[in-house]
Amino acid sequence: MRYATRPPHPGGPPIDTAAPRRIRVAAVPAGHPYTRAVTDERFVDLRVDPPPPGAAPGQWWPPQVLLPAWLEEHAAEIDLVHVHFGSESYTADELAATVETLRRLGLPLIYTVHDLENPQLSDQAAHRAALDTLVAGADELTTLTAATATEVERDHGRTSTVIPHPTLIEGEALPTGRGHSATRIGVHLRDLRPNIDGVGTTATLVRAVADLRARGTDVEAVVRLNENVRDAEAAASIEALTRNADGVTLARSARLDDDALAGWLADLDACVLPYGHGTHSGWAELCYDLAVPVLGTRVGHIAAQHPGDFHAFRVGDPVSLERAIVEAAAPGWSVPGTAARAAEVVRRRAERLDERDRVRQAHVALYRRSLRTEHAA
């Protein structure tokens, strides 16, 4: 959407694409690993998240960048606003005021549609209203998969630039897992946030593993759960389901740090994604980095992120999960602790670093286009 009545941009003359200065981007949130991963700091000056009044150190929500008063005060210090996450902090009416303020100040709005359904919410009505406002008001839209772009165009009449989710892993040496005799399946339920169907997924996994073992398949499963959870009743049900389950163990601990999580995932032959709703998955990306196949439900467009590594099942249908386990654990590169797994991880690392460079270039091009359009308006 273009606005022909916008005043001159407060950040100065149009950016010269041949010799650009760094583009000053107020991202929401700036400190998120995804935001940092898509930012080419040679060309982009990513402004730090303004701390909310009284917030704990490192807390970026509710995002101050989306407040009209903040935009008014800091308009001369930024070139554009890019919203990724955090819109649930405000109502659709409040976001409409944000959009109108950006129009008046001549600041482009970029919106990446990560979530058609918000994983942090059970009732999606407020999120859908916010989505309507941001999609209609954005100067440029991006999303992670062509399937999501098709849905956005169908429902909102807007075209999105498809830019895939890059790797978030830093460093070169990635874990490749430890060998073990049984096929090991894992599911991490984390803190049981609203989009995680912990009880349904665990019940389906328990039955699938029992049936496979009864037929002679050497398979075991581990269900991980954080010590601190949002739904204590669900956690109690999960503990009951796994207490005497054949071949299934429950592991509860404090939240794993990034290295510990990567190490845990690398030991798996396949990882179950326990989502009841959502659109995309950062966990699917991490599993791809580590060459760990994904067993997931047909939620959102997660299957479109890495189709070759995705094996579908249905919660409540253990036969479908048994089939997915057998497919994912077929002999090949997916076995942890093998030379084949290690070689695949190395191959993917090179592929993903090259992809990340292209993702960053695509964002720079998007920012420059939005600013050229703004100055031409």
Residue 37 lies in a domain: yes
* CA-closest candidate to residue 112, choices 144, 87, 150: 144
Full pLDDT tens readout for the chain, 377 residues: 222 333 333 333 344 545 568 999 999 999 999 999 999 999 999 999 999 999 999 999 999 999 999 999 999 999 999 999 999 999 999 999 999 999 999 999 999 999 999 999 999 999 999 999 999 999 999 999 999 999 999 999 999 999 999 999 998 789 999 999 999 999 999 999 999 999 999 999 999 999 999 999 999 999 999 999 999 999 999 999 999 999 999 999 999 999 999 999 999 999 999 999 999 999 999 999 999 999 999 999 999 999 999 999 999 999 999 999 999 998 888 899 999 999 999 999 999 999 999 999 999 999 999 999 766 65
| Domain carrying residue 97 | 23-168+356-376
Q: What are phi and psi of 328, to 5 degrees?
A: -70, -30
In a domain, 18, yes or no: no
Q: Does 159 lie in the same domain as 220? A: no
- Quick one: CA torsion of 369, 371, 373, 374, rounded to 10 degrees? 160
How much is the pTM?
Answer: 0.92
One domain, residues 296 and 362? no
Whole-number pLDDT of residue 194: 97
pLDDT the model gives residue 7: 35
pLDDT of residue 332: 82
Q: For the chain, what is the domain count?
A: 2
SS3 label, residue 54? coil
* pLDDT score recorded for residue 39: 98
What CATH number does residue 73 fall under? 3.40.50.2000
- Return the C-alpha torsion angle 221, 227, 231, 237, nearest 10: 40
> How high is the pLDDT of residue 20?
64
Q: Is residue 160 in a domain?
A: yes
- Say whether both 301 and 325 belong to one domain: yes
Predicted pLDDT at 171: 83
Give the pLDDT score at 29.
98
What b/e string do you get for 27-50 counting C-beta neighbours within 10 Å, with b at 16 or more?
Answer: bbbbebebbebbbbeebbebbebb
Indicate the residue type of 118: N
Considering the domain architecture, whether residues 140 and 261 belong to the same structural domain is answered as no
| 89 lies in some domain | yes
Token duo for residue 273: 């994604």
What local confidence, expressed as pLDDT, does residue 106 receive?
98
Shared domain for 327 and 187, answered yes or no, is: yes
Q: 296 and 220 in contact (C-beta within 8 Å)?
A: no
